[in-house]
C-alpha cells in the first residue's frame, strides 16, 4: 500500500493496539518546561511510579522566565518557585535541563531543533501545543496535556487514535517580501481555524521544498492554529544539512545510516490523503490579522471583510476595528519580534536587513526577543545587535516573553501590538491588549514607521 510520510513514521512507532480503541504510540523524545510538567511529576510521585526513560526527556525553562537581568534572582515568588520546582524535579530524576542562563537555554521549540535533538522520523511530544514546530523535520510532533505528560513519564508511550491525513500543497514562486509566516497566515485565513481538527497535516509543493528549515518551522509551528494536531514536511537535503554536525545529532557513520533511513520517509507517489487543499504561491502577499483568532487574516493591502456574524462582530469590537476598514496607516505603539514562530536567526536577519540605517518611530516600543541563547549569541556575532540598538530597538534575553505575557512582558490594555507570535486571542499578550499577527518584515516596517504600511509598495 502507498503510504504517506505521516503513516510511515506513525506505523513505525505503534507498540500495540486496543481493539476498537486507541493505539499505543512510542515516543522517542519528550520535551518539558516549567509550566505543564510540575503536576505530572507530582502525580507520578503520589502514585509511586518511577520515570521510565529519563534519558529521552530534555527540559528547558522558557514560558515563565524574565527577559531582562536573567542573572539575578527572579522577583516574582510564584515564578521563581515554578522554576525551582523544575530544577528539583530534573535533578531528582536525572533529566537533562537547560535552565535559565545555561548556554543552551531557550524556547523549547527553538532549542531542540538547533541542538539536533529533533531529527527526522521521530515521535516528539511536549506539553505545549506548538510542538508541531518540529514537524518541519519530517517528525511526528504534537502538543499534549499534563495528564499525558505523566503518561509519557510513566511509560514513554501515549494512547492515541490515529488522526486522519490532510495535505496542503502550495506550488509556484513566492513574491518578494512574502515570508513563511505570510504563507501560513494565508493558508489559515483560507481554510479556517478548525479545518485541521482531527487531522495531521503535510505541507507539500515547491514553496516548502525551497524553504529554509527556519521557514519550515514557522509554517509547521502554526499548524495547531488551523486545528491540526501537527504539521509535517518531508525531510530532504535541506533537512539533512541542517541536522548534520549539530550538538546532539548522530555523527559519522551513524549519521549516514540515519540519512539512508530518512530518505525512505517521504510520501509515496499516489498515496491518498483524507483531505487536500491546493494554493498558488502567486496569490500570497504579506499578511496581517485583524481579529481575535489566527484565521482572521487579510493581505496587508486588503480591507477587513464585512460579515454579519456575532462572533465576528465581538472580535472587531475587542480590536476596535470596523468592517470594511483598511489597516494601512493604523498607528501602532508596540512591536514584538519573538516567540517560537519567528525568533530564529533568519527572522532577525530579515528584520535587521530592513532596519539597517533606519530608526524606529518615536511612539513605538520595539521588543526583540531571541528564541534561545544560541540565537542571541548569533545576533551578536553577526553584528545585528548593533543595527538594532542604533535603530532604537530593545534586544532582550531569550524566552516566550510577550507571546503569552506570563512574565512581565505585557502589552498594556487597549494598545495594538504588531507581533510575530502565533496567537491573537483576547488578552493573549496582556489583559485588554490587541494583537496583530504578522511576519518579521512587516513587524520591522511597522516599528520604523510607527504605523502599519503597505510593505508591498516598498518592495515593488
Where do contacts with ligand SF4 occur on this chain (CB under 6 A)? Answer: 62-63, 107, 109, 128, 130, 339-340, 400, 403-404, 421-422
Q: Does 259 bind another protein (CB under 8 A)?
A: no
Closest CB to another protein among 434 and 451?
A: 434
Task: Name the DSSP class of 161.
Answer: P
The correct pick among 319, 337, 404, 417 for binding another protein (CB under 8 A) is 404
Q: Which does 193 bind (CB under 5 to 8 A by kind): ligand SF4, another protein, none?
A: another protein
Please tell me the distance from the alpha carbon of residue 332 to that of residue 379, in angstroms, as a whole number.
25
Q: Does 121 bind another protein (CB under 8 A)?
A: yes
Q: Does 264 bind another protein (CB under 8 A)?
A: no
Considering only residues 236 through 255, tell me which ones interact with another protein, judged by CB under 8 A: 248, 250, 254
Residue 102 CA: distances (Å) to CA of 128, 300, 319, 420: 21, 39, 39, 25
Q: Which does 55 bind (CB under 5 to 8 A by kind): ligand SF4, another protein, none?
A: another protein
CB of 294 to ligand SF4, least distance (A): 11
Closest CB to another protein among 184 and 453?
A: 184
Other Cβ atoms closer than 10 A to 72? 8
The correct pick among 136, 220, 234, 405 for binding another protein (CB under 8 A) is 405
**Which range of residues in 173-181, 210-218, 306-314, 343-351 is near another protein by CB under 8 A?**
306-314
Closest CB to another protein among 185 and 281?
A: 185
**Which range of residues in 281-289, 346-354, 356-364, 404-412 is near another protein by CB under 8 A?**
404-412
The correct pick among 109, 134, 229, 451 for binding another protein (CB under 8 A) is 229
Please tell me the distance from the alpha carbon of residue 83 to that of residue 116, in angstroms, as a whole number.
25
Q: Does 156 bind another protein (CB under 8 A)?
A: yes
Closest CB to ligand SF4 among 403 and 437?
A: 403
Q: Which does 201 bind (CB under 5 to 8 A by kind): ligand SF4, another protein, none?
A: none
Q: Does 134 bind another protein (CB under 8 A)?
A: no
Closest CB to another protein among 58 and 298?
A: 58
3-state secondary structure of 416: strand
Please tell me the distance from the alpha carbon of residue 325 to that of residue 406, in angstroms, as a whole number.
32
Spatial strand order in the sheet of 164-171: 230-232, 199-204, 164-171, 275-280
Residue 333 C-alpha cell reads as: 505603539
Other Cβ atoms closer than 10 A to 293? 18
Please tell me the distance from the alpha carbon of residue 341 to that of residue 347, in angstroms, as a whole number.
9
Task: Decide if 119 contacts 29 (C-beta within 8 A).
Answer: no
Spatial strand order in the sheet of 157-160: 14-17, 23-26, 157-160
CB of 11 to another protein, least distance (A): 12
Considering only residues 7 through 66, tell me which ones interact with another protein, judged by CB under 8 A: 12, 15-16, 18, 20-22, 24, 26, 28-29, 35-36, 38-39, 42-43, 47, 49, 55-56, 58, 63-64
Task: Name the DSSP class of 451.
Answer: B
Q: Binding pattern to another protein, positions 265-304, x when CB under 8 A?
A: ----------------------------x-----------
Please tell me the distance from the alpha carbon of residue 210 to that of residue 204, in angstroms, as a whole number.
11
Q: Any bridge partners for residue 275, and if so which?
A: 166
Task: Decide if 279 contacts 189 (C-beta within 8 A).
Answer: no
Q: Does 145 bind another protein (CB under 8 A)?
A: yes
Closest CB to another protein among 178 and 188?
A: 188
Q: Binding pattern to another protein, positions 64-93, x when CB under 8 A?
A: x-----------x-xx-xx--x--------
3-state secondary structure of 152: helix
Q: What are phi and psi of 128, to 5 degrees?
A: -165, 130
Q: What are phi and psi of 125, to 5 degrees?
A: -130, 160
| Helices 146-155 + 38-46 axis angle, to 10 | 50
Amino acid at each position: 500500500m502507498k503510504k504517506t510520510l505521516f503513516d510511515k513514521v506513525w506505523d513505525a512507532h505503534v507498540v500495540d493496539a486496543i481493539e476498537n480503541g486507541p493505539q499505543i504510540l512510542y515516543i522517542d523524545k519528550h520535551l518539558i518546561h516549567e509550566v505543564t510538567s510540575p503536576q505530572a511529576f507530582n502525580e507520578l510521585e503520589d502514585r509511586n511510579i518511577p520515570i521510565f526513560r529519563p534519558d529521552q526527556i530534555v527540559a528547558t525553562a522558557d514560558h515563565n522566565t524574565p527577559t531582562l537581568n536573567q542573572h539575578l534572582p527572579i522577583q516574582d515568588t510564584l515564578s521563581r518557585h515554578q522554576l525551582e520546582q523544575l530544577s528539583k524535579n530534573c535533578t531528582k530524576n536525572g533529566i537533562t535541563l537547560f535552565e535559565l542562563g545555561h548556554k543552551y537555554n531557550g524556547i523549547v521549540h527553538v532549542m531542540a531543533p538547533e541542538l539536533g535533538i529533533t531529527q527526522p522520523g521521530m515521535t516528539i511530544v511536549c506539553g505545549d501545543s506548538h510542538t508541531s514546530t518540529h514537524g518541519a523535520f519530517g517528525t511526528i510532533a504534537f502538543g499534549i496535556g499534563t495528564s499525558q505528560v505523566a503518561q509519557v513519564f510513566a511509560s514513554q508511550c501515549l494512547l492515541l487514535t490515529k488522526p486522519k491525513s490532510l495535505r496542503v500543497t502550495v506550488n509556484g514562486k513566492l513574491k518578494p517580501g512574502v515570508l513563511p509566516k505570510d504563507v501560513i497566515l494565508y493558508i489559515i485565513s483560507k481554510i479556517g481555524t478548525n479545518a485541521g481538527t482531527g487531522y495531521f497535516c503535510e505541507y507539500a509543493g515547491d514553496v516548502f521544498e525551497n524553504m529554509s528549515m527556519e521557514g519550515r518551522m514557522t509554517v509547521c509551528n502554526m499548524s495547531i492554529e488551523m486545528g491540526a494536531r501537527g504539521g509535517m514536511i518531508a525531510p530532504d537535503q535541506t533537512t539533512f544539512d541542517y541536522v548534520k554536525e549539530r550538538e546532539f545529532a548522530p555523527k559519522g557513520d551513524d549519521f549516514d545510516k540515519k540519512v539512508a533511513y530518512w530518505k525512505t520517509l517521504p510520501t509515496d507517489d499516489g498515496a491518498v490523503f483524507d483531505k487536500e487543499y491546493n494554493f498558488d504561491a502567486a496569490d500570497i502577499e504579506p499578511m496581517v490579522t485583524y481579529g481575535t483568532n489566527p484565521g482572521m487574516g487579510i493581505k496587508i493591502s486588503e480591507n477587513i471583510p464585512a460579515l454579519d456574524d456575532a462572533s465576528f462582530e465581538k472580535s472587531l469590537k475587542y480590536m476596535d476595528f470596523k468592517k470594511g476598514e483598511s489597516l494601512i496607516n493604523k498607528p501602532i505603539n508596540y512591536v514584538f519580534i519573538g516567540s517560537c514562530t519567528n525568533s530564529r536567526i533568519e527572522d532577525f536577519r530579515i528584520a535587521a536587513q530592513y532596519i539597517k540605517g533606519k530608526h524606529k518611530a518615536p511612539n513605538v516600543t520595539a521588543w526583540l526577543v531571541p528564541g534561545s541563547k544560541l540565537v542571541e549569541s548569533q545576533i551578536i556575532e553577526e553584528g545585528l545587535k548593533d543595527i538594532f540598538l542604533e535603530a532604537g530597538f530593545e534586544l532582550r534575553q531569550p524566552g516566550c516573553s510577550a507571546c503569552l505575557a506570563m512574565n512581565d512582558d505585557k502589552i498594556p490594555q487597549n494598545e495594538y501590538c504588531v507581533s510575530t507570535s502565533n496567537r491573537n486571542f483576547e488578552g493573549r499578550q496582556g489583559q485588554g491588549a490587541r494583537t496583530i499577527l504578522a511576519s518579521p518584515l512587516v513587524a520591522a516596517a511597522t516599528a520604523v514607521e510607527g504605523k502599519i504600511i503597505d510593505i508591498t509598495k516598498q518592495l515593488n
